[in-house]
Amino acid sequence: MIAVGQFFFRFRNAIFPIAMLLAVLLASPHYSFGSHTADLWVDLLGIAVILAGQALRILTIGYEYIRRGGREGRVYANELVQGGVFAHCRNPLYLGNILMVAGFLVVIGTGWLIAVGLPLVILVYRAIVAAEEDYLSHQFGAAYAAYCGRVNRWLPDWKGFAESVGPMRFNWQRVVVKEYGTFFASLTALLVIQVWTRFGEEGVAERDWIWIAGVGCLLFGGYLAARTLKKKRLLHG
């Protein structure tokens, strides 16, 4: 499991976008349960799950960011972060990712894809966490063992959260710097799925391309604005 996790950790930034693209292509465009109304409710459910995952990521990054992005494609950490959301869940960013993927699978609305895709995503992240835990246990020893003993691996325990973050300042600039890519990629994916579904069921009328182009321009403009602020170091992450 550790070796598998090290592999997925190394290529995780490429694997998941490719996997989501394949999921959209493998799922023929259709309305859930054959109904436009039912599809709307299913989409709202999926979007709610996506927002929950995104909110968890924002909450985590805003209070205390964990620099566990790896070094040269391998697991690496320069310190054992235990504050903010990490005082209540050991892997809140990965949990947020799982929720977001689950939400997208619901929006795509293909039963077999949810049944196959969600367990695979959970397995991949479980393997990545196994690799990280092996590294952290060797790197931080007893301190990490104590941390594992009081904080759940996956299920957040929000008891005492207000006290945990009370002395801390929520860093919106860091959220924008670290999360703008994920945020705009998620919105773009939702737009693509909606267009894909409508194209398959009804075709896309000429007037539809106006709002599609408008939303696409807004997303691209927002992404460029955030990226420019980051590159010019006008935001401090």
Q: Torsions phi, psi of 186, nearest 5? A: -65, -45
| CA 126 – CA 120 distance, rounded (Å) | 10
Tens digit of each residue's pLDDT (9 = 90 or more) over 152-161 = 999 999 999 9
Tens digit of each residue's pLDDT (9 = 90 or more) over 101-153 = 999 999 998 888 899 999 999 999 999 999 999 999 999 999 999 999 999 99
Quick one: what percent of the chain has pLDDT higher than 70? 97
pLDDT value of residue 63: 93
Least confident interval from 33-42, 177-186, 202-211: 202-211
| CA 148 – CA 142 distance, rounded (Å) | 10
Report DSSP state, residue 204: -
| CA 203 – CA 40 distance, rounded (Å) | 17
pLDDT band at 20 (very low <50, low <70, confident <90, very high): confident
Residue 145 CB neighbour total at 10 angstroms = 11
pLDDT value of residue 68: 58
Which CATH number among 1.20.120, 3.30.1370, 3.30.1490, 3.30.1920 corresponds to the domain 2-167?
A: 1.20.120
- For the segment 49-68, the average pLDDT, to the nearest whole number, is 90
| Domain chopping of the chain, boundaries | 2-167
pLDDT band at 69 (very low <50, low <70, confident <90, very high): low
- For the segment 71-79, the average pLDDT, to the nearest whole number, is 80
Which residues have a Cβ under 8 Å from the Cβ of 170 and sit 6 or more positions away? Answer: 62, 63
Report DSSP state, residue 73: T
Report DSSP state, residue 61: H
pLDDT value of residue 165: 92
pLDDT band at 216 (very low <50, low <70, confident <90, very high): very high
pLDDT band at 237 (very low <50, low <70, confident <90, very high): low
Residue 164 CB neighbour total at 10 angstroms = 19
Mean of per-residue pLDDT scores for the chain: 89
Torsion over CA: 174, 178, 182, 185 (sign): positive
| pLDDT above 90 for 77 | no
